[in-house]
Amino acid sequence: MPAASPSTVFNPATSAGPHPTLTIYNTLSKKKEPFETVEQGKVGIYLCGPTVYGKAHIGHMVGPVLFDTIKRYLTFSGYDVQWVVNITDVDDKLIKAANEQGITMAEVADLNIQDYNDNLAALGVTEIDDFPKATECMGDIVDFIESLVKEGVAYESQGDVYFDVAKDADYGKLSNRTVEGMQGDGGGAADRKRSAADFALWKSAKAGEPSWDSPWGKGRPGWHIECSAMSKKLLGETFDIHGGGLDLVFPHHENEIAQSESCHHKPMVKYWAHNGLLRKDAAAGKIGGKAEREEGAAADDAGGKMSRSKGAGGLADLIAKQGGERIRFFLLRTHYRSTVLFSEDAIEEAAVGLETFYRLFKRFTRITKADFYALTPPTSRGASTIALGDDPTLNAAEACRDKFIAAMDDDFNTGGAIAELFELARITNKYCEDHKLEESADPADVASLELLMTTIKELANILGLFRVPPAKVGGGDELLAKVMGVVIDLRADARKAKNFAVADAIRDGLKPAGLTIEDRPSGAEWTGGGDGATEAVMQMLIELRATARNSKDFATADALRDKLAAIGVTIEDRAGGTEWSAK
């Protein structure tokens, strides 16, 4: 596809027709399509949100992180974007949780909504405009169901209301399934339905459960109707992008289409955008289970599911260990339609990549005395900081910017965009080294450096990265800092004494902990860390001490012990091995 050019920018507010370079993959058509909005210059996005019966797990963050980035990019491209994420706060599992905890369903929902929002904030998801709750939209839901009954595509049965899939000739078009090949819910509902494939729009009340008034008696809505009603209320009868995980294609999104298009007689959505699932490893099912509410969903996953009831969760703990930016970066490294294999080792690997940028930001501060995070970049694709000219470095940086935009234009390819961000960091580091900016900085060279760093900030903002300095993660940061001070001293002593075996052992021992030491004119500095870093460094020092004693290098062994004692860390040799403790 042609590369985007900042000099020939499409203005969505004034330019008619599809965007000349921006494409999006549509699950309905099974191909990439030119991006053209329902209303000129405006984009409506609806993303299916959580059912808030328990704490959030990392699978709940995949869609929000991706669509937060998509909204940022569309805004950068000149569109006025409204993004809606619904909250399902009435459900069998919520009722069960309330009964088990001895609190109301609303209290269960409120606790878990707060947890969900806290996790979104930690991952930098800040662009959501509307958070409608099902319980706050009951009037809209009942009205929608009434319209379907009047259209003759829904029917009442013993206080329940069902959608009659036989009345929808297009049913199955999103998932490529036929009505004949589908199986609906069994159990007590089977004898109240005309067909096994029919699905509930309204469920009659059970004793002791929350319920709302309706023309069919007290009850509560089915899952699928909630999204049709809330998207219509906030985005209209037809809107631009509907997002969600691949596990929602059937039955949830298929049923949304049936409801909305049978009611309005027009397309519900222009583009169905489904993200790949997060899997714990190559063999297991996706994290979070199939669509967690859908009792009758067919099991497509080859491995066992990891739902909240089977151990997924603990996202707040994961964020405390790893930090939100690491997790966001990890999720954005691959294309949104790809499967993401999750492990903490994979997040640690992503953290190593982030250190490339953190070190560059520190270098920028050393050279300019300025704060990278305080830079103010352009906020639109037509307003590049860099003007093409005779400077090959600035021209190369502008080429990176164009390639970044081209990647994002190509179905929001965040993995390709991140590759250009790394290339821009490489170009910037090389510029610092070639011009010896840390030794003596010419004002013109510093000005060029600021242009390069501002471009990095501009593109990182689109990805939601490097907006604020990274939070300390992993716990024990104060102790880690002290221990790393000892490591730097030991390394300096070893190099001064030409004891390169010790110096090399320190360098190699830090790598598994994700730590590096860099020598600067002002002295050595260390970067990295995370969960388990302090323990890993201490084990490295214990091994170093044992090696020194075995080789009769008692000076190194004693210096190590004494320096650790000075910061309150004690090493003790016991029958079962050497142990350490800190005051």
H helix runs in 435-465, sequence order: 443-463
Provide the pLDDT for residue 274: 98
Level-2 CATH architecture, domain 342-463: Up-down Bundle (1.20)
What residue ranges do the domains of the chain occupy?
Answer: 39-183+192-275, 342-463, 476-582
Cα–Cα dist 210/233, whole Å: 23
DSSP calls for 395-406: HHHHHHHHHHHH
Residue 61: what residue type? Answer: M
pTM for the predicted model, two decimal places: 0.83
Provide the pLDDT for residue 185: 53
Provide the pLDDT for residue 34: 97
Cα–Cα dist 127/355, whole Å: 26
Cα–Cα dist 107/168, whole Å: 39
Q: Which residues participate in the annotated binding site?
A: 48, 227, 252, 256
Cα–Cα dist 257/508, whole Å: 57
Provide the pLDDT for residue 82: 98
Q: Which residues participate in the annotated binding site for Zn(2+)?
A: 48, 227, 252, 256
Provide the pLDDT for residue 286: 58
Cα–Cα dist 292/88, whole Å: 11
The owner of tokens 């589908």 is 182
Structure tokens at 348: 């640690």
The owner of tokens 């319920």 is 211
For residue 488, give the 3-state DSSP assignment: helix
Q: Is the peptide bond before 20 cis (omega within 30 degrees of 0)?
A: no
Residue 144: what residue type? Answer: F
What DSSP designation does 551 have?
Answer: T
What DSSP designation does 242 have?
Answer: E
Is CATH 3.40.50.2300 the right assignment for the domain spanning 39-183+192-275? Answer: no
Bridging pattern class, strands 219-221 and 199-204: antiparallel
The owner of tokens 């869609």 is 63
Q: Are the C-beta atoms of 225 and 141 separated by less than 8 Å?
A: yes
Q: What sign has the CA pseudo-torsion 128, 454, 515, 329? A: positive
Cα–Cα dist 112/57, whole Å: 11
Per-residue pLDDT of the chain (583 residues; tens, 9 = 90+): 344 454 357 899 898 889 999 999 999 999 999 999 999 999 999 999 999 999 999 999 999 999 999 999 999 999 999 999 999 999 999 999 999 999 999 999 999 999 999 999 999 999 999 999 999 999 999 999 999 999 999 999 999 999 999 999 999 999 999 887 666 555 557 788 999 999 999 999 999 999 999 999 999 999 999 999 999 999 999 999 999 999 999 999 999 999 999 999 999 999 999 999 998 865 445 565 445 454 333 333 333 333 454 445 679 989 988 899 999 999 999 999 999 999 988 998 888 899 899 999 999 999 999 999 999 999 999 888 887 778 999 999 999 999 999 999 999 999 999 999 999 999 999 999 999 999 888 999 999 999 999 999 999 999 999 999 886 554 446 788 889 999 999 998 998 899 988 888 898 888 877 788 888 766 788 887 766 788 889 889 999 999 999 999 998 999 999 999 999 999 888 777 788 888 7
Cα–Cα dist 375/454, whole Å: 6
Per-residue 3-state assignment (H helix, E strand, C coil) for 489-542: HHHHHHHHCCCHHHHHHHHHHHHHHCEEEEEECCEEEEEECCCCHHHHHHHHHH
- Longest Cα–Cα distance of the chain, Å, equals 91
Provide the pLDDT for residue 180: 72
Radius of gyration of the chain, Cα coordinates, nearest whole angstrom: 28
Cα–Cα dist 294/256, whole Å: 14
Which parts of 115-267 are beta strand (E)? Answer: 154-157, 160-163, 199-204, 219-221, 239-245
Encode burial over 364-399: b for 16+ CB neighbours within 10 A, e otherwise: bebbbeeebeebebbeebeebbbeeeebebbebbbb
Provide the pLDDT for residue 312: 54
Q: Are the C-beta atoms of 537 and 560 separated by less than 8 Å?
A: no
